């Protein structure tokens, strides 16, 4: 019987902490469902990259890390604003899974409160102060080194889509619309 794990994230951008988590889960599961959450958001300060760009980042990073892509599903899922039906909605959008991997207290609460019967495991996160999307986006915006925090394939995708310019424009457009 195939054991399938699920991890969720916005992946804005996909970084080395996410890659380590992917490897961690695949060491325990036969397959992994990677949910790109908030798939409907893009080109905003908190969510600068589109769902398609995030799919590409993840795919290229996994391929570069020589992870067997036949073991992974990468699925963008738009948010459901009704949290009471969140798990049912999520289950309708993805293949069946056995274990939900999350360190997010709210996600774990929702999964437990909806009597899901799904095992929930808290993964071991690496250097969360550095490996988090907000930090990486701020480094990009400030013109500081950030590439060491993401897989090289992700840095390449970000460069190809003009991610640095986009992040700078988005950061300033909300605070000073007259400027743009």
Q: Are strands 4-9 and 119-121 parallel, antiparallel or unpaired?
A: unpaired
Indicate the angle between helix axes 105-113 and 86-93, nearest 10 degrees.
Answer: 90
Confidence of residue 81 (pLDDT cuts 50, 70, 90): confident
Long-range contacts of 85-90, Cβ-Cβ distance < 8 Å, separation of 24 or more: 86/110, 86/114, 87/111, 87/114, 87/116, 87/118, 88/114, 90/35
What does the pLDDT read at residue 176?
Answer: 47
Backbone angles phi, psi at 121, to 5 degrees: -120, 140
| Confidence band for 1, pLDDT divided at 50, 70 and 90 | confident
pLDDT tens figures, 87-100: 889 999 999 999 99
Q: How far is CA 176 from CA 47, 54, 169, 170, 172, in A?
A: 18, 27, 10, 10, 6
What is the predicted pLDDT for the residue at 149?
Answer: 97
Query: What does the pLDDT read at residue 180?
Result: 42
Residues of the chain above pLDDT 70, percent = 95
Closest among 10, 17, 35, 12 to 123, alpha carbons compared = 17
Write the class of the CATH domain 4-174.
alpha beta
Query: 32 with 6: CB under 8 angstroms?
Result: yes
pLDDT in tens, 102-127: 888 888 888 888 766 788 998 887 77
Q: Where are the domains of the chain?
A: 4-174
For residues 35-49, give the mean pLDDT: 95
Mean pLDDT taken over the chain: 91
Half-sphere exposure of 66 (CA within 13 A, CB side): 0
Over range 33-61, report the average pLDDT: 97
- Kindly indicate the confidence band of residue 2, based on its pLDDT and cuts at 50, 70 and 90: confident
């Amino acid at each position: 019987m195939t054991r399938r794990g699920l991890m969720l994230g916005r992946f804005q951008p996909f970084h080395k902490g996410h890659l380590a988590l992917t490897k961690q889960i695949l060491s325990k599961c036969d397959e992994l469902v990677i949910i790109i959450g908030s798939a409907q958001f893009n080109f905003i300060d908190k969510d600068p990259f589109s769902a398609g760009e995030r799919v590409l980042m993840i795919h290229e990073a996994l391929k570069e890390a020589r992870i067997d892509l036949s073991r992974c599903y990468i699925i963008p899922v738009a948010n459901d604003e009704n949290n009471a039906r969140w798990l049912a909605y999520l289950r309708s959008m993805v293949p069946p899974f056995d274990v939900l991997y999350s360190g997010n207290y709210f996600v774990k609460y929702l999964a437990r409160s909806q009597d899901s019967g799904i095992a929930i495991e808290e993964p071991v996160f690496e250097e969360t102060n550095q490996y988090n999307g907000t930090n990486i986006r701020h480094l990009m915006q400030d013109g500081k080194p950030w590439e060491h925090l993401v897989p090289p394939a992700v840095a390449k995708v970000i460069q190809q889509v003009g991610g640095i310019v986009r992040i700078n424009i988005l950061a300033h457009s909300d605070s000073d619309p007259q400027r743009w």
